[in-house]
């Protein structure tokens, strides 16, 4: 069945791939974005499609639209981006979800909120199941993102309980792939860009901290499945790859795949940087019949190929003048 679908943050890394998939499936897609961390080139190829519409709008401001489904992805996701204006980040998560839940309530639309593994903070349970309540520093530099996403989860569940809104929560673990902002400061983009340019690869700390890296196609498949399960399972559900790598292992793998003669250098570890992270995806397997299909090696190869194909000069570093 064809649906009218709103994708907030639809011009971003994940949002643009989601829009592409939904447009290809024939849905009427409204992509809403304020272009804080993205550029129109991510979706310009969709503008000629009759079932795609692009709106420049900020979700902290009310908007009236009539849709059947809302994927709420609008929020800066990389630490350098979300710490650029932390108050705005918190507003985007909290005021933004209130505006989107308002549309969902008025239209009877289904809403999927892109939450994050950051709700677990620096976890003392490993791997992290959805039942783990987390270890977030509420006053640290990452809190604007972590606590904003936690508050958004709370608001979704309160609308589910008190207004019977059909909201769903996915907790996304580190995801990478083509169209991630080359200057977003995240580890995969930094390492690939640095290796391609024969620049030093910057390992923060001693590189023993771990992350689990999910390829974008696996992620998009999971969130579409979560949007389309029958009402009654709001989640939250973890979406991520169970393979766990130290940051040093990632650097070595990127260097091996890119080639070149970059050196690995150590830089100070940012405050509150989680020491380890790996999703328990038992619930996603059970409820969505989903598990990742793409190995880190294969996903990196595709991401490296994309980085080689773009002109880095077309992308601005993460210092946009947004308030
Ligand atoms: P991204 O920065 O590429 O995309 C976010 C998009 O939201 C951008 O296009 C940005 O311009 C837009 N945006 C930001 N603030 C906005 C506002 N106030 N109004 C309208 N648009 C706004 O990041 P991404 O990696 O594609 O992340 C998408 C979503 O997934 C985010 O909500 C993020 O928190 C979540 N997530 C991503 C990851 C990951 O590893 N990529 C992990 C966990 C959660
Ligand atoms: N990191 C790193 N070098 C970089 C960028 C990041 O060593 O150039 C580390 C960072 O300190 C963290 C991990 O890589 O331990 C993942 O960082 P990223 O910003 O990609 O995501 P997050 O910390 O939100 O998981």
83 φ/ψ angles, rounded to the nearest 5 degrees: -90, -5
Q: Give the number of whichever ligand sits closest to the CA of residue 87.
A: 1
Can you list the domains of the chain with their CATH numbers? 4-314 (3.40.50.720)
Return the half-sphere exposure (C-beta side, CA atoms, 13 A cut-off) of residue 25: 16
Average pLDDT score over residue span 60-65: 97
The predicted model scores a pTM of 0.97
Residue owning the nearest CA to atom 6 of ligand 2: 187
Residue 323 has pLDDT above 50, yes or no: no
pLDDT in tens, 14-50: 999 999 999 999 999 999 999 999 989 999 999 999 9
186 alpha carbon – ligand 2 mean position (Å): 6
Residue-level pLDDT at 1: 86
**Residue 145 annotated among the catalytic residues of the structure:** yes
Among 238, 239, 263, 254, smallest CA distance to 296 is for 254
DSSP E strand stretches across 87-181: 110-116, 167-172, 175-176
Asked if 82 and 89 touch (Cβ cutoff 8 Å), the reply is: yes
Residue-level pLDDT at 246: 98
User: End-to-end CA distance of the chain, in Å?
Assistant: 40
Residues in Cβ contact with 305 at an 8 Å cutoff, skipping those fewer than 6 apart: 178
H-state helical runs in the chain: 13-24, 79-82, 86-107, 143-163, 187-196, 216-228, 247-258, 282-288, 296-309
Residue 318 has pLDDT above 70, yes or no: no
Residue-level pLDDT at 168: 98
Q: Give the number of whichever ligand sits closest to the CA of residue 211.
A: 2
Q: Are strands 52-56 and 28-33 parallel, antiparallel or unpaired?
A: parallel
Atom nearest to 76 CA in ligand 1 = 2
């Amino acid at each position: 069945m064809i649906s009218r679908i709103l994708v907030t943050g639809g011009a971003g890394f994940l949002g643009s791939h989601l829009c592409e998939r939904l447009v290809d499936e024939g849905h009427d897609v409204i992509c809403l974005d304020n272009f804080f961390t993205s550029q129109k080139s991510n979706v310009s190829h969709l503008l000629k499609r009759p079932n795609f519409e692009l709106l420049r709008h900020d979700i902290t401001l009310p908007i009236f639209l009539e849709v059947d489904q809302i994927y709420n992805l609008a929020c800066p996701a990389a630490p350098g981006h979300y710490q650029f204006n932390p108050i705005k980040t918190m507003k985007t998560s909290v005021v933004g979800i209130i505006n989107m839940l308002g549309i969902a309530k008025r239209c009877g639309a289904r809403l999927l909120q892109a939450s994050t593994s950051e709700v677990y903070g620096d976890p003392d349970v490993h791997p992290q199941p959805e039942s783990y309540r987390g270890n977030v520093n509420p006053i640290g530099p990452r809190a604007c993102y972590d606590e904003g996403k936690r508050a958004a989860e709370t608001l979704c569940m309160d609308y589910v309980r008190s207004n019977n809104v059909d909201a769903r929560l996915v907790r996304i673990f580190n995801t990478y792939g083509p169209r991630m902002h080359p200057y977003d400061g995240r580890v995969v983009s930094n390492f690939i860009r640095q290796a391609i340019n024969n620049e030093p690869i910057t390992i923060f700390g001693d590189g023993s901290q771990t992350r689990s890296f999910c390829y974008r196609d696996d992620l998009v498949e999971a969130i579409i499945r979560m949007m389309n399960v029958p009402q009654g399972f709001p989640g939250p559900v973890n979406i991520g790859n169970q393979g766990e790598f130290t940051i040093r292992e990632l650097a070595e793998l990127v260097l091996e795949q890119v080639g070149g003669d970059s050196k690995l250098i150590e830089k100070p570890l940012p405050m509150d940087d989680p020491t380890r992270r790996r999703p328990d995806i038992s619930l996603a397997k059970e409820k969505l019949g989903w598990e990742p299909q793409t190995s880190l090696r294969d996903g990196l190869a595709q991401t490296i190929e994309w980085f080689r194909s773009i002109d880095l000069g077309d992308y601005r570093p993460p210092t946009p003048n947004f308030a």
